[in-house]
Structure 1
């Protein structure tokens, strides 16, 4: 007797699959929630396609996936949508021994005492950006947070904080990201058939030329660092000195792809998370008051002290829970037959753990649509219940840096300014390239300067 369970899921026609893909691009959260209600926490997105793509938001199943033996899955081939942005030597697009090698080389700059060296840079950049705000005037929240996060990543990763190279790279990166940022323009990434270079006035042609200009600046910076006799503490310099187990350094192509990966992974995502946090803090006065009371207890002159603030941590965690920037983790392609929760998966099946659906399970997070930081004070969630940075051997290596930056930027802003949303219209998540972000129309007004400022952040 065969006790194997049968996967549930829709059986759309070819036209139906095309319509679903467009729905996924323009309103991804709605289609996720609808399918979850119809088919549960493990389902195939289309029964009549090969290979099968299976959505999973069951914590027990996620634990089996994230803790599976090496060689069970291949993640590289499932992320090809990122290839035009990142390059084929990006950590995200590597698998097996190559992935492990790059991961070991990239890990040291993002942990331990290295974080403390970035704290003053983050604080100063935040201060420079927000010093331009004027009392009584509104500002575009996303644009301001993008400015902070981009300047932080350029400084920390490249050691660039001024000069022609800095200005040019900042301008080009912004144009490239905006070029694939809307739901319509992001179709360039989801539909390879649209990736045709018809010259500089065509969407893909503009993308390729911007990418080429960015690459030229990056390779110039790599060359300058290789030839420099001065000591630098940016991540590029650390990676130039890194050696693998065979004593081999990264090639220029590997460096380029990893640096671009850090740029995109550490810029857009942080800007979106910060924008959401400011939105929720203003929407809920009780959250704001608790947070301000805690921020006023910061000790003197130590930016890294924000790491110890429990309520600030809870606010950041809840921000990343309710609207995770990456709504899915990286896909896994089955290489060896595996059974998960009574389902049997053959090689070639693509498993897609859903961060958003897991974060909105009623059994884990009662009233999941409500913003409640206290959840993270009352309970410690497992890596299979809370996974804004992915899981297993694909967990984001920059998560500690991202959390630190988010806390320090929020603390710097909130200890100096009283902010208020320009209007109380509810903000909904929208497609931003490959991620989901708050609307670009989110604006806040500077009500006044705070009379009490934390000495650690002034």
Structure 2
């Protein structure tokens, strides 16, 4: 094939709209079909502007992720998230503004700061799962959502209880539900549907919920500035942060970054935890190996001991490989002509690195549809072969926190309860807003309470 010509379909305008709907309702099937037809570098539709190119070749991904600053515009293609996150969100910034915000946001998510959240994660998990009853089915996603939302509210705002905590928790849950189903997610994919016809209309309801959440967030920011009390939560750390010119973040910048952290750190973790519990029960050999490893922990195990467990790490990695929550990384729009693997791309071309397709390459992951944690014990994958948190300068800043939380929550649950799927019906991935998650009917039952209690995270 001529390297200057990319394979891909040439659909009509109507067919493109039909394909878009198929993409919204069944994205993984569309991805796999296109990969089988056109390979690991292909255009979504020929003869359209902008040209959208899917890429799942590790060599090409390395060239994209390591390209010099300014090669791509990574903000414009993310405008679909503007109504949700705000125009000062790290995700919607580029260039110098993106670098500034990233530097200000990074410190709370690394090193000793993570350790401060260990006890919070363990206690919140304990509070939620203590309501489970032996023999009574429970909705896995609902429980994992409650854990992840409480954790993120505690870590980000330092809110553990009280009126503002409860209001934020309820409103955030309702806002996420408003754009989570395949049907309602069309509000984000099709801006023409974003019409405010009052609180009874879908978009009007969304705007009303967003407004109520903003009021609570701005009230919390104002109260914190007035109190001038230093704490370990992320809001307190961001209020203290200063850029290279000694300037703090504005209230609007804080609001947009806090909302970004809330949404990015809540839904994704809840989905990953739900998948992990599904796979662990679905495969007895995986469950047995994991429980044997967890049983080696002493009663007073420190969080650092938990997160260093090799098989637990492998289970979490494989969970994020087989069904990555974000099936693509953030798009890159070419700013100046560039050649990648011999393909020439003109300015304006939109490159979409595919996480899902990369994670399902036979040459990297033999028998890719099989859940096999041992892959991550047998070899180490490069950032261009395994990329559940994206890559390059757009890699998720919360990846260490997400992995930390995922391991501690799973360890706390599995050392206390023997769980079993309520039915053996296979669970399929479904669209949830802009992500892909296990279907909402995933239910489990507590078979019994284990005699060994959860390790105390001190």
**Structure 1-normalised TM-score?**
0.99
Asked if residue 419 in structure 1 is aligned to residue 416 in structure 2, the reply is no
Match of 2:122 in 1: 123
Match of 1:105 in 2: 104
* Whole-angstrom distance in 2 between the partners of 1:424 and 1:406: 24
* Whole-angstrom distance in 2 between the partners of 1:79 and 1:323: 22
Match of 1:394 in 2: 394
1:423 Cα offset (Å)? 0.1
Instruction: Report the number of matched residues.
Output: 457
* Whole-angstrom distance in 2 between the partners of 1:41 and 1:48: 20
Does the 8 Å CA contact 1:272/1:437 hold for their aligned counterparts? yes
* Whole-angstrom distance in 2 between the partners of 1:222 and 1:307: 33
Provide, for residues 403-454 of structure 1, a one-character-per-residue CA deviation record: whole Å limited to 9, x for no partner.
0000000000000000000000000000100000001110000000011235
Does the 8 Å CA contact 1:415/1:457 hold for their aligned counterparts? no
Match of 1:439 in 2: 439
1:329 Cα offset (Å)? 0.1
Provide, for residues 4-36 of structure 1, a one-character-per-residue CA deviation record: whole Å limited to 9, x for no partner.
431110000000000000000000000000000
Does the 8 Å CA contact 2:119/2:457 hold for their aligned counterparts? no
1:3 Cα offset (Å)? 6.5
Asked if residue 369 in structure 1 is aligned to residue 369 in structure 2, the reply is yes
SS in 1 for 2:111: coil
CA-atom RMSD, angstroms? 1.1
1:231 Cα offset (Å)? 2.8
Match of 1:91 in 2: 90
Does the 8 Å CA contact 1:295/1:454 hold for their aligned counterparts? no
Asked if residue 241 in structure 1 is aligned to residue 240 in structure 2, the reply is yes
| Structure 1, gaps ≥5 residues long | none
1:457 Cα offset (Å)? 5.4
Match of 1:139 in 2: 138
* Whole-angstrom distance in 2 between the partners of 1:310 and 1:446: 26
What does residue range 166-245 of structure 1 map to in structure 2 within 5 Å? 166-245=165-244
Match of 1:258 in 2: 257
Does the 8 Å CA contact 2:329/2:354 hold for their aligned counterparts? yes
1:303 Cα offset (Å)? 2.2
* Whole-angstrom distance in 2 between the partners of 1:203 and 1:115: 38
Provide, for residues 92-133 of structure 1, a one-character-per-residue CA deviation record: whole Å limited to 9, x for no partner.
000000000000000000000001000000000000000011
* Whole-angstrom distance in 2 between the partners of 1:393 and 1:354: 16
Provide, for residues 286-312 of structure 1, a one-character-per-residue CA deviation record: whole Å limited to 9, x for no partner.
000100011111232412321210000
What does residue range 4-43 of structure 1 map to in structure 2 within 5 Å? 4-43=3-42
Asked if residue 164 in structure 1 is aligned to residue 163 in structure 2, the reply is yes
| Structure 1 residues 184 and 455: CA distance shift in structure 2, 3 A | closer
Match of 1:276 in 2: 275
What does residue range 251-400 of structure 1 map to in structure 2 within 5 Å? 251-299=250-298, 300-400=300-400
* Whole-angstrom distance in 1 between the partners of 2:216 and 2:237: 19
Runs (4 or more) in structure 1 with deviation over 2 Å come to 2-5, 452-458
**Structure 2-normalised TM-score?**
0.99
* Whole-angstrom distance in 1 between the partners of 2:189 and 2:8: 22
| Structure 2, gaps ≥5 residues long | none
SS in 1 for 2:169: helix
Does the 8 Å CA contact 2:322/2:359 hold for their aligned counterparts? yes
Does the 8 Å CA contact 1:179/1:185 hold for their aligned counterparts? yes
Match of 1:452 in 2: 452
Provide, for residues 374-421 of structure 1, a one-character-per-residue CA deviation record: whole Å limited to 9, x for no partner.
000000000000000000000000000000000000000000000000
Match of 1:114 in 2: 113
* Whole-angstrom distance in 2 between the partners of 1:169 and 1:148: 14
Match of 1:79 in 2: 78
* Whole-angstrom distance in 2 between the partners of 1:395 and 1:446: 37
* Whole-angstrom distance in 2 between the partners of 1:455 and 1:348: 53
Does the 8 Å CA contact 1:389/1:399 hold for their aligned counterparts? yes
